[in-house]
Structure 1
Amino acid sequence: MDIEGRRAVVTGGAIGTGRAVAIALAAAGAEVVVADIDEVGGRETVDRAGADRCRFVRTDLTDPQQTADLITSTRPRILINNAGGGGHLPPHFPEASAEEWERLLTLNLIGPMRATQHALVTMRSDGGVIVNISSIAGLGLGPHPSPEYSAAKAGVIRFTATLADVAPARVVCLVPDWVATERVTDAELASDPPPIPIAAFTDAVLGLIADDSLAGRVMLLPQVGQPQLLA
């Protein structure tokens, strides 16, 4: 899909990977909608991307109605389900209360599923691309500090792969390792191996959007080596 002239919604676009993707999409000619609960960060993203190409819509992606309103009002041709995180913040399952770990599941799995369901209504007639952002925490069979976070991210991967046949829309997934966002310290940048450069992350997202041969595919973005399709 050509990015230029398309409307793109980026959830979790107020900081980090979401901000970087929003800026990259605007630079590629998209009309970008930044969705986040962080109004200050969201408006800073708009300023950096350019107010002529980007606007902010305050949205809580754990709220079903706000999620529905975001998608139905903007009708994106490109949807980046980037909102998520929280896996590093204690308490974790089983010490966390049911309300705490359910909210993390909602943000990282149910929210993207809701947004995808609404987006497919219009994309199935007009076409479009949905990029789900997972995490390496969702891969493998070993322990993880946050079982609820890793389970949610594993769910995003499997959810994407089941949607290989929703043409003319496409649903794909990016599974990054540690990414060098603005929150990474100098010491962390100097680690071996270093975090993934933010430009490599945005290049991978834009590549998944552009490649019309990819549907229901999952791409791993490792700290070392080249991106690779897992499914």
Structure 2
Amino acid sequence: MHLRWRLAVVTGAGSGLGREVALRLARVGASVLVVDRDLAAAEDAVAQLELCRVKAWSLQADLAEDDAVRLVAARARDLGGADLLVNNAGGWTSGEQYPAASSAAWGRTLALNLRAPMLLTQLFLDDLAHRGGRSDEPGAVVNVSSSAALGHEAYGSPEYAATKAALVRFTTAMAGERRARVTCVVPGWVGLDRAVAQWEALHESEREGLLPLVAPELVATTVVGLLREGVGGTIVELPGGEPSRGR
């Protein structure tokens, strides 16, 4: 798929990895709907994208809420219909984690990390036939998971790990979908500012056995590559070195 002139929806694109993905898309000529809970961050990202001489729009949305997810889909329809969707937004439970966290708190994490990508993908698929003035070429979806999905050891946020594992399986289960190619990237510890600070604070002995931080640029490049030509159901693992293409 040629990405120039396409409309991409990127969630969690106000900062961090989502912004990196949005910028990479803008540099290849795609227009971007920047979705983020932080409106100021989303607007700042839009200003950066517009320097690439593409169209960009900001939208404030808390994707743990179904109504907000539906608002994203409605805004994309207003813009003529999205061709590309990157389900990047996600996060840990605020404060205590499962089982200490309340069911409302860890339930919100499930909603943000799994229900929102599934609902937004469903709405995206339903709307593909109504894209304004574009071909019948299938759309493309990339889900952003985490290496927390792949381990068998103890993990600090069981609810986060469970949702990211489910996102991988959701992707492979969608391999037969004809309206869009649904793929997934599974990065290790991404080298964003907070992660770099945490890494530098580790003692040398604590770093032993850990894989290097994954460059955000590598993740963004992989996402754009999957949008361009990824085969439905493909999982690409980025553990901290060269990408390992899964199924």
Same fold, judged at TM 0.5 (above)? yes
1:128 paired with 2:139, answer yes
Q: Distance in 2 between matches of 1:138 and 1:193?
A: 16
The residue that corresponds to 1:109 in the other structure is 114
Deviation of 1:78 (Å): 0.3
Question: Residues 108 and 186 from structure 1, CA distance in 2 versus in 1: closer, same or farther, beyond 3 angstroms?
Answer: closer
4+ residue stretches of structure 1 with deviation over 6 A? 189-192
2:195 aligned counterpart, secondary structure: coil
2:238 is aligned to 221
1:111 aligned counterpart, secondary structure: helix
Q: CA deviation at 1:180?
A: 1.2
Structure 2: runs of 5 or more not aligned:
131-135, 202-206
Q: CA-to-partner distance for each residue in 1:200-219, whole Å, 9 max, x for gaps?
A: 1111101111115x101111
Q: For 2:198 and 2:189, locate their aligned partners in 1 and report how far apart those are by CA, in whole Å.
A: 14
When normalised by structure 2's length, the TM-score is 0.86
* Structure 1, 175-184 or 101-110: larger mean CA deviation: 175-184
- How many Å separate the matches in 2 of 1:34 and 1:149? 23
Which residue in 1 is equivalent to 2:133? Answer: none
Q: Residue 161 of structure 1 contacts residue 217 of structure 1 at CA under 8 Å; is this kept in 2?
A: yes
In structure 1, how many angstroms separate the alpha carbons of the residues matched to 2:193 and 2:26? 19
Task: For residues 35-93 of structure 1, give each alpha carbon's deviation from its aligned partner in whole angstroms, at most 9, with x where no partner exists.
Answer: 01101111111111117421101111112122112113312100000000126x53011
Do the aligned partners of residues 27 and 12 (structure 1) sit closer, same or farther apart at CA in structure 2, a change above 3 Å counting? same
Counterpart position of 1:3: 3
Name the structure 2 match of 1:80.
86
In structure 1, C-alpha distance between the alignment counterparts of 2:165 and 2:196, rounded to whole Å: 27
Which residue of 178, 181, 186 maps to 2:192?
181
- Paired-residue identity, %: 36
Aligned-pair RMSD on alpha carbons? 1.9
Aligned position for 1:40: 40
Aligned to 1:63: 65
Contact 1:219–1:230 (Cα < 8 Å) also in 2: yes
Question: Does the Cα contact within 8 Å between 1:16 and 1:183 map onto a contact in 2?
Answer: no
Q: Give yes or no for contact 1:137–1:144 (8 Å, CA) kept in 2.
A: yes
Does the 8 A contact of 1:80 with 1:133 survive in 2? yes
Deviation string 1:120-156 (CA, Å, 9 cap, x unpaired) is 1123674200100000001122211111000000010
Which secondary structure does the structure 1 equivalent of 2:75 belong to?
helix
| DSSP-derived class of the 2:160 partner | helix
Question: Is 1:158 aligned to 2:169, yes or no?
Answer: yes
Quick one: distance in 2 between partners of 1:34 and 1:203?
A: 18
Q: Which residue of 2 aligns with 1:21?
A: 21
CA drift at 1:116: 0.5
Specify every segment of 5 or more residues in structure 1 that has no aligned partner in the other structure, as ranges: none
| Partner AA of 2:245 in structure 1 | L
- Further displaced range: 113-122 or 62-71: 62-71
Match of 1:199 in 2: 217
- Between structure 1 and structure 2, the one with the greater Rg is 2
SS of corresponding position for 1:172: strand
Q: 2-side partners of 1:195 and 1:56: how far apart?
A: 29
The two structures have a TM-score, normalised by structure 1, of 0.92
Q: Give the CA deviation at 1:168.
A: 3.4
Quote the residue 2:158 is aligned against.
147
